[in-house]
Amino acid sequence: MKKIVELNKKKVPVVRIDKSLNKYDNVVLFPEKVEKAKKDFEKFGLPDLKKQGR
């Protein structure tokens, strides 16, 4: 029978939820960085995991 095993869960911190942070979800707090990310994505795309010998 197959089962799923997940590794390294212990590295994932326990996170306390604070609903007051939800107000930021639809707000871009760092627009210049997001713009740079878009430009780099358009120019360079994403790394090719296959070519990079994963």
Partner 1 sequence: MKLDRYEFKAGDKFLTYEFLSEGPKGKIPKVIQFSLVNQASLLFNLAFGDKDRETGEIDDMVITDNGDSEKVLGTVVAAVYAFCDKFPEAWIYATGSTEARTRLYKMGINKYFDIVQEDFEIFGLTQNEWERFIKGKNYQAFIVQRKNLKFNV
Q: Are 28 and 34 in contact (CB under 8 A)?
A: yes
- Which residues 3-42 are close enough to bind partner 1 by CB under 8 A? 3-8, 11-13, 15-19, 21-22, 24-25, 28-30, 32-34, 36-38, 40-41
SS3 of residue 1 by DSSP: coil
Q: How far is the CB of 24 from partner 1 (least distance, A)?
A: 4
C-alpha atoms less than 13 angstroms from C-alpha of 48 in its C-beta half-sphere: 4
Query: Measured between alpha carbons, how far is 14 from 16 in angstroms, rounded to an integer?
Result: 7
50 touching partner 1, by CB under 8 A: no
Residues near partner 1 (CB under 8 A) are: 2-8, 11-13, 15-19, 21-22, 24-25, 28-30, 32-34, 36-38, 40-41, 44, 46-49, 52, 54
